[in-house]
Structure 1
């Protein structure tokens, strides 16, 4: 729950741009491409933050880097309240994006290293679902704040998570697996026994040092290990899938409020439909985790890409013909099911020593897709294309994502402990299944 709330705030600070894009565009007299770039600025910062966070977290620990990142993005969101130019907005969002981008991979990594094996897929996707809950919160906040106080006030609200980052420093534990990988066995044992004491049926007497196996570190540097012969094919497959799915999710979600407003919908309806899309996106993310644990990671991903293709096609054909509510609901569910479905695979591919770096690199590559797409959609709209035509073009990367999954990601990891997947740290067989 601690990490989940951090992701809610993270999602809010990212998505609030989408709900203030129409007002910023009007005030600053921006064209379509410049409007799309308003969302891309955050993603540019997220590229940097996501990449650096993995290296720092594998070296200095998950907890401290994540807490610092929360405080960073919250602190740097507030100055947007005062900006009056496009360039100033860009600088502020790039800088705050560094913190936003760091929190996402670190949250997923931290949760995966505490999650029970049989439900790990659900735990991983649930973590990202909290981020989408932040998207919903951004929409609800904008529906009230923008008409009454103006768009700038939304960014002042976005500074509140700074206090939560301070709180997290005192109450959130460090990753047990990371502590063990660094030889800090007694600290790890203390956390394990604290968790054991909180269980309904704790192990009598707790755990001892003899029940903890310390992992063997991967040879070579962290980045070099990701592209070593052992991991290269999987790494390439994961990166390509992450790029395409993030491009779809971020590109479509960021543009929806503006496109709906320009299509004649009211501010309330535009924000409401987009919030509905994000709300159903939360449901899609939950289903992604449950399906991954029940059907398997790869089969669930295939289903997700197929459903997303059908949803996008439905919206392109019928959405702007009077069926916008079911179109937004279906597309929100399906696109985010597709976006979340590869998440367990990206965590389970690497051992503790390079897991945060691996997740951060996946996130960085994904953000490149998310960075390009809003501006690409803006360019298409500026050239005279309709949004329905843009949606038809979205079907191509969905097909590519399915192809990349089939050709490059072969290993099914459903129900296998992280320790068994990677020759990793273990704290007795019992804890792997609790």
Structure 2
């Protein structure tokens, strides 16, 4: 009996309705996740005024959910690698929706912070599971595109949050934005009943019959018919000597883990810091609420474009060169925004910043998913992202502190350019190339 790996079967089918079914189901989960995360950036000025907050407290409004993101990332990997990708994604999608709408009723900084931490657990869990599922469901030659561009849905959620705030906040007040954020509760049940489970995960758990059934479903969805696969017909990769958290720090994966953690930390300082503060900075610079919010929304529209472009580039020029380019591009765009002198310069440079920083961070996603084998892939992805959230937490707060030192508009953007340069440096010297290698053969590649 000739045996085949799941990657060979997926590559033989190529791009299909099945690929895009998973892509869009996961994508909408990330869109809702992105809306609920970013809506705080568009309600910061109103909460600051209502609760008489300092600059540091204002910056922390965008940071509390990052604590939850860290917790969610830490636990999601272990849960997903144990009970499956689909169940984990659906549960945490339900969690962040349920914990967003009660913010409508809060009347204190402390209550807001608590709810944002708890809802952030859902954000932190959904993102790494989404990236992992796409990496395990995409053809090898297109894997970089799908694992990178899926984050464009997350950024689309930021765009929708900004557009919603422009219309909702002036007419109904900032609290109604959080009622809207709780509406996608029903989508968690759609995921549970419609989203397929990862056949790689099923096979890794010794459930070959279930994996074969999923492969048959995939072929029928893609081609209208399926081949015959008897038990024992799939290549089962040898189990790793370690799994879970201990595995990502084992001798074979330690260097990969540390490098990815640093890149994601620095990238999160940049992207969460700038996105958390930009609407408030622009309003403070005299552009007004609608205009300042519109500039920030436009930046995120170009962020979506950056997420799509980086996936295409990752498959063409390679993951490593793409990430280096992305973070160098980010540093340059940030510095240009800092020296912008008029409205049109702010608009153009803001678009470049959105394009560049999402190019860099989304381009890092394939490296996370391709650095570890199936048995602890989500653990590797989620822990790298969880550590990155530490940077995302301190970025907005540090930016608030830097502003209190009196560095001005230009100085704050110099501050944000530094971590982008560090991320590019780490990618240059410590990242291995994985383009064109199957999901079964990439883990543990040395730089």
**Shorter-normalised TM-score: what interval?**
over 0.9
Partner residue, 1:143: 166
Q: Report the TM-score when normalising by structure 2.
A: 0.92
Partner residue, 2:283: 261
Question: Over residues 57-100 of structure 1, what are the superposed CA-to-partner deviations in whole Å (9 max), with x where a residue is unaligned?
Answer: 11111111111101111000011000000001001101111111
CA drift at 1:216 = 2.0
CA 1:397–1:389 in 2, change beyond 3 Å: closer, same or farther? Answer: same
CA distance in 2, matches of 1:234, 1:186: 33
Partner residue, 2:316: 294
CA 1:227–1:320 in 2, change beyond 3 Å: closer, same or farther? Answer: farther
CA drift at 1:6 = 0.2
> For 1:406, which of 404, 428, 435 is the aligned residue?
428
Partner residue, 2:271: 249
> For 2:326, which of 300, 304, 310 is the aligned residue?
304
Task: Give the aligned CA root-mean-square deviation in angstroms.
Answer: 1.5
SS in structure 2 opposite 1:212? coil
Partner residue, 1:57: 80
CA drift at 1:321 = 6.6
Question: Over residues 117-174 of structure 1, what are the superposed CA-to-partner deviations in whole Å (9 max), with x where a residue is unaligned?
Answer: 0000000012111100101110111111111111000000111111100121111111
CA distance in 2, matches of 1:85, 1:77: 15
Q: Map 1:138-287 onto structure 2 (within 5 A).
A: 138-200=161-223, 202-203=225-226, 205-287=227-309
CA distance in 2, matches of 1:150, 1:23: 8
CA drift at 1:202 = 4.9
CA drift at 1:319 = 5.2
CA drift at 1:30 = 0.5
CA 1:225–1:145 in 2, change beyond 3 Å: closer, same or farther? Answer: same
> For 2:386, which of 343, 364, 367 is the aligned residue?
364
CA drift at 1:286 = 0.7
Partner residue, 2:63: 40
CA drift at 1:43 = 0.5
SS in structure 2 opposite 1:341? helix
CA distance in 1, matches of 2:224, 2:326: 37
SS in structure 2 opposite 1:420? coil
CA distance in 2, matches of 1:324, 1:380: 21
Residue ranges of structure 1 left out of the alignment (5+ in a row): 424-434
CA distance in 2, matches of 1:80, 1:395: 33
Partner residue, 1:106: 129
Question: Over residues 286-305 of structure 1, what are the superposed CA-to-partner deviations in whole Å (9 max), with x where a residue is unaligned?
Answer: 11111100000111112112
Which deviates more, 75-84 or 213-222? 213-222
- Decide whether the 8 Å contact of 2:100 with 2:119 is kept in 1: yes
CA distance in 1, matches of 2:248, 2:222: 36
> For 1:125, which of 148, 153, 161 is the aligned residue?
148
CA distance in 1, matches of 2:220, 2:79: 31
Partner residue, 2:438: 417
Residue ranges of structure 2 left out of the alignment (5+ in a row): 1-23
* Equivalences, count: 422
Partner residue, 1:431: none
CA drift at 1:24 = 0.6
Partner residue, 1:70: 93
Question: Over residues 27-56 of structure 1, what are the superposed CA-to-partner deviations in whole Å (9 max), with x where a residue is unaligned?
Answer: 111011000000100101110011100011
SS in structure 2 opposite 1:219? coil
- Decide whether the 8 Å contact of 2:325 with 2:424 is kept in 1: no
Kindly report structure 1 stretches of 4+ aligned residues shifted beyond 4 Å.
Answer: 319-322
Partner residue, 1:427: none
CA drift at 1:211 = 2.9
Partner residue, 2:353: 331
Q: Report the TM-score when normalising by structure 1.
A: 0.95
CA distance in 1, matches of 2:225, 2:322: 34
CA drift at 1:400 = 1.1
- Decide whether the 8 Å contact of 1:197 with 1:206 is kept in 2: no
CA 1:265–1:73 in 2, change beyond 3 Å: closer, same or farther? Answer: same
